[in-house]
Structure 1
Amino acid sequence: MKIIVIGCTHAGTAAVKNIATLYPDASITVYEKNDNVSFLSCGIALYVGGVAKDPTQLFYSSPEELRGLGVTMNMKHEVLFVDVESKNVTVKNLETGKITNDTFDKLVMSTGSWPIIPPIDGIKLDNILLAKNYHQANTIIEKAKEAENITVIGAGYIGVELVEAFEQYGKNVTLIDGEDRILNKYLDKEFTDIVEDEFVTRGITLAMKQTVTQFKGENGKVSKVVTTKGEYDTDLVILCVGFKPNTDLLKGQIDMLANGAIITNEYMQTSHPDIFAAGDSCAVWYNPTMEYRYIPLATNAVRMGTIAAHNIVEPRVKYVGTQGTSGLHIYGLNMASTGLTETSAQHAGVPYKVVDVIENNRPEFMPSFDSVKLKVLYAPDTKRVLGAQLISKADMTQMVNTLSVCIQNHMTMDELSFVDFFFQPHFNKPWNLLNQAGLAALESKKTLQLV
């Protein structure tokens, strides 16, 4: 059996390692445009901010390791064309320019995503950078050394983390986004307000509800960012406006969402049974609304790549879907979310109810304790858990992982009320915060006294 894997970051690396282990007799060939594999792009801000001192530790595998498993690793090779029906690929060696053809029995499409680059006037000026791969991270670090004013466009996770890193690096930082607040895809306003207050306290300029219309430059380098509300002096711009799936190779040949994200079944097969897909190139099954969505996350990618490997010969392991669970640490604040927020529920037209719990993480007789803010959304009719958000200076984020399991398994708030969680004063209170959330929903039927 001859297997070709196109792209080798998270999903590709997971697929290759597992295929090599599960099917040692298979012939595995990887085509990768970069000179490295498995780069953790979520660590770029930590690298830029100096938290991650050794950039090599942002890789959890290497071409050499995969070659040691018997895999043919073609680095700096770009696949130009895939013919699904004839099972043929056309490949260009980016170092020599030589073009060759190859064939496969099975194909794993793990080409990932690429940053969205908006068609803004002046976008090709120097010092307007992307933040996706290892080489871009190195460029950001080098350019930032000479920059005094840095502008980050896009207030998602990567953008917000870079803002913190640049501010701690002593730079004047401006954050621009078209929405009215930061992190709007992950947290509701009462949570993002807390983070925004931290930013403003540190002198970061928040330019919300603004669209960039132009980049102005001097001597070929960007010097100003022009928006619908003003102009901002800048020496360096980082674009973090989102990602799109890299799937042009298969367009018109397999089923996709409107944005090009590949649709797979629960075994990671595409509409062609011998073509598998995993990672940021794919749509995922979103359990809270029971539909396909595009949610590019490294956690999704490694799961999907592993599942594709297990099913490459025959269907064996099912993908259970995702809740889009994610976490963030900014200025000592630990936050996480899973499933629907109020914002996303309203956008999707999903009815919901909300419970809020504001409680200290441990008993007040302990030497120290921190306030925790937890919010849980649930369905009005069935009381099924739909989503949750949490923020605290104490690291309580694993509670959100627990609630992710609740959503995946269609658990109700009534059940959550009486789940068996341990109590120990060093860690929590007799009534766990998750129990308290369930009980708050239950109070509409009966008022309970907590001890």
Structure 2
Amino acid sequence: MKIAVIGCTHAGTAAIVNIAKCYPEAEITVYEKNDNISFLSCGIALYVGGMVSDAQGLFYSSPEQLAELGVTTKMLHEVTKIDTDAKQLRARNLETGEELEDTFDKLVMTTGSWPIVPKFEGIGLDNILLSKNFNHSNTIIEKSKQAKNIVVVGAGYIGVELVEAFQLNGKNVTLIDAEPRILSKYLDAEYTDQIEASLRSRNIQLALGQKVTKFTGENGKVSKVVTDRGEYSADLVILCIGFRPNTELLRGQVDMLDNGAIIVDEYMRTSKSDVYAAGDSCAVFYNPTQTHAYIPLATNAVRMGTLVARNLLAPTVKYMGTQGTSGIKIYEDHIAATGMTETSAKEAGIEAEAVIVNDHYRPEFMPTHETVMLKVVYEQSTRRILGAQMMSKVDLTQSVNTLSVCIQNGMKMEELAFVDFFFQPHYNKPWNFLNSAGLGALPEVPQSAYETGRV
């Protein structure tokens, strides 16, 4: 059996390693257009900020390790054409320009995503950078050494993490986003208001609700970022506007969302026989809405890549879908979220309600008892849990993983209220704050029951 794998980051590495273990007799060939594989891009900000000094720790595999599993890895080879009917592909060696053709019995598409780069005036100026791969991170580190004023465009996780890293390195930092709030896809205003205040207290300039219109420069290098509401000095600009799937090779050959994300079933099969896909090139099944959505996360990628291997010859293990669970640490704040925010639920046309718990996470008689703020969003009619967000000065983020399981299993608020959690003063209260959220949303006792009880 000949297996071709296109792309080798999170999903690709997971698929390749597991395919090699499950089918040791298979002939596996990997095509990767970069000069490295398996880079943990979520560690870029830690690397840029100096918290991670050895970049090799951000790689969890290599062509040499794959070779030990019997895998042929063709680095710096870009696949230029795929014919899924004929089961053929064409690739170009980026070092020599040589073209080659290959065939396959099974094709695994793990081509990932690429940063969105709008066609702003001046986008070609020097020192306007992307933040996606290892080479980007090295360029950012090198150029930021000489930069005094750094502008980050895009206030998602990557943008906010980079802003923190640059500020800690003593730079003047501006964060620009078209949305009126930072991290608006992940958190409601109760959280983002506090995080924005934390950033401003460290002299980070927030230019929110502003759209970039152009870049201007001197001597071929960027000097200002111009928005529809102002302009900002910049020696260095990092674009973190978002990602789009790399799927042009299969355009018109398999079913996709409007943005090009490949639609796969619960066994990672595309609409074309013997073609599988996983990771940021795909749509995922989003449990809160029970629909396919584009949610590029490393966690989704490694799960999907592993499932490709398990289901390559026959449907064996189903994908359970995702809640888009994520976490971030911004200065001293530990933050995590899963599922829908109250804002996104309403935007999706769902009648949603929410409970907010502000409480000490453990008894007040303990030496320290930091506050946790937990918000749980649920559907009004069914009381089904849709999402949750939490923030605290102490790391309680694993509680959001618990709520992710609740959403995945369709649990209701009254069930959350009475889940069996242990109590130990070092860790929590007799009523865990997750229970407290459920208790805060208990339905009222019907008047008829009250009257019956009186009689």
Matched, 1:271 2:235: no
* Partner amino acid, structure 2, of 1:52: V
Give the conservation status (yes or no) of the 8 Å contact 1:384–1:412: yes
> Structure 1: which 5+ runs fail to align?
447-451
Task: Report the counterpart of residue 220 of structure 1 in structure 2.
Answer: 220
Q: CA deviation at 1:353?
A: 1.3
Q: CA deviation at 1:63?
A: 1.0
Counterpart-to-counterpart distance in 1, 2:369 and 2:145: 39
* Partner amino acid, structure 2, of 1:35: D
Q: CA deviation at 1:445?
A: 3.3
Task: Report the counterpart of residue 285 of structure 1 in structure 2.
Answer: 285
Q: Deviations over 1:237-262 (max 9, x none)?
A: 00000000000000001000000000
Counterpart-to-counterpart distance in 1, 2:211 and 2:21: 49
* Partner amino acid, structure 1, of 2:174: T
Task: Report the counterpart of residue 451 of structure 2 in structure 1.
Answer: none
Give the conservation status (yes or no) of the 8 Å contact 1:32–1:74: yes
Q: CA deviation at 1:369?
A: 1.2
Task: Report the counterpart of residue 243 of structure 1 in structure 2.
Answer: 243
Give the conservation status (yes or no) of the 8 Å contact 1:361–1:394: no
Matched, 1:82 2:79: no
* Partner amino acid, structure 2, of 1:150: I
Task: Report the counterpart of residue 61 of structure 1 in structure 2.
Answer: 61
The alignment partner of 1:255 has SS state of coil
Counterpart-to-counterpart distance in 1, 2:113 and 2:390: 28
The alignment partner of 1:187 has SS state of coil
Counterpart-to-counterpart distance in 1, 2:148 and 2:34: 31
Task: Report the counterpart of residue 96 of structure 1 in structure 2.
Answer: 96
Counterpart-to-counterpart distance in 1, 2:431 and 2:252: 54
Matched, 1:298 2:308: no
Matched, 1:354 2:344: no
* Partner amino acid, structure 2, of 1:143: K
Give % identity. 66
The alignment partner of 1:197 has SS state of helix
The alignment partner of 2:441 has SS state of helix
Counterpart-to-counterpart distance in 2, 1:339 and 1:138: 33
Q: Deviations over 1:278-332 (max 9, x none)?
A: 0000000000000000000000000000001111111111000000000000011
Counterpart-to-counterpart distance in 1, 2:444 and 2:433: 18
Matched, 1:367 2:367: yes
Q: CA deviation at 1:273?
A: 2.1
The alignment partner of 1:327 has SS state of strand
Q: CA deviation at 1:105?
A: 0.2
* Partner amino acid, structure 2, of 1:66: L
Counterpart-to-counterpart distance in 1, 2:426 and 2:88: 60
Q: CA deviation at 1:104?
A: 0.2
Q: TM-score, normalised by structure 1?
A: 0.98
Task: Report the counterpart of residue 111 of structure 1 in structure 2.
Answer: 111
The alignment partner of 2:170 has SS state of coil
* Partner amino acid, structure 2, of 1:41: S
Q: CA deviation at 1:402?
A: 0.3
Q: CA deviation at 1:444?
A: 3.2
Q: TM-score, normalised by structure 2?
A: 0.97
* Partner amino acid, structure 2, of 1:79: V
Matched, 1:12 2:29: no
The alignment partner of 1:336 has SS state of strand
* Partner amino acid, structure 1, of 2:124: K
Task: Report the counterpart of residue 421 of structure 2 in structure 1.
Answer: 421
Counterpart-to-counterpart distance in 2, 1:340 and 1:40: 26
Matched, 1:311 2:311: yes
Counterpart-to-counterpart distance in 1, 2:387 and 2:207: 29
Q: CA RMSD in A?
A: 0.7
Alignment of 1:155-174 (within 5 A): 155-174=155-174
Counterpart-to-counterpart distance in 2, 1:347 and 1:37: 38
* Partner amino acid, structure 2, of 1:120: F
Counterpart-to-counterpart distance in 1, 2:111 and 2:54: 26
The alignment partner of 2:414 has SS state of helix
* Partner amino acid, structure 1, of 2:400: V
The alignment partner of 1:25 has SS state of coil
Q: CA deviation at 1:222?
A: 0.2
Q: Deviations over 1:205-252 (max 9, x none)?
A: 000011111100111100000100011111000000000000000000
Counterpart-to-counterpart distance in 2, 1:268 and 1:444: 43
Alignment of 1:249-268 (within 5 A): 249-268=249-268
Counterpart-to-counterpart distance in 1, 2:414 and 2:369: 28
Counterpart-to-counterpart distance in 2, 1:292 and 1:101: 34
Q: CA deviation at 1:418?
A: 0.9
Task: Report the counterpart of residue 44 of structure 2 in structure 1.
Answer: 44
Give the conservation status (yes or no) of the 8 Å contact 2:342–2:353: no
Q: CA deviation at 1:342?
A: 1.2
Give the conservation status (yes or no) of the 8 Å contact 2:351–2:381: no
Q: CA deviation at 1:141?
A: 0.2
The alignment partner of 1:344 has SS state of helix
Q: Deviations over 1:174-206 (max 9, x none)?
A: 000000010000000110011100010000000
Task: Report the counterpart of residue 395 of structure 1 in structure 2.
Answer: 395
Q: Deviations over 1:31-50 (max 9, x none)?
A: 00111111010000000000
4+ residue runs of structure 1 moved beyond 6 angstroms?
A: none
Counterpart-to-counterpart distance in 1, 2:343 and 2:170: 34
> Structure 2: which 5+ runs fail to align?
447-455
Q: CA deviation at 1:379?
A: 1.4
Alignment of 1:94-243 (within 5 A): 94-243=94-243
Q: Deviations over 1:153-183 (max 9, x none)?
A: 0000000000000000000000000000100
Give the conservation status (yes or no) of the 8 Å contact 1:38–1:62: yes
Alignment of 1:373-384 (within 5 A): 373-384=373-384
Task: Report the counterpart of residue 449 of structure 1 in structure 2.
Answer: none
The alignment partner of 1:292 has SS state of strand
Counterpart-to-counterpart distance in 1, 2:377 and 2:343: 11
Q: CA deviation at 1:350?
A: 1.0
Counterpart-to-counterpart distance in 2, 1:100 and 1:445: 72
* Partner amino acid, structure 1, of 2:11: A
Counterpart-to-counterpart distance in 1, 2:28 and 2:423: 50
Task: Report the counterpart of residue 345 of structure 1 in structure 2.
Answer: 345
* Partner amino acid, structure 1, of 2:36: N
Q: CA deviation at 1:363?
A: 0.5
Q: CA deviation at 1:29?
A: 0.3
Counterpart-to-counterpart distance in 2, 1:441 and 1:184: 25
Counterpart-to-counterpart distance in 1, 2:38 and 2:214: 35
The alignment partner of 1:442 has SS state of coil
* Partner amino acid, structure 2, of 1:401: N
Q: CA deviation at 1:443?
A: 5.5
Task: Report the counterpart of residue 320 of structure 2 in structure 1.
Answer: 320
Give the conservation status (yes or no) of the 8 Å contact 1:161–1:330: yes
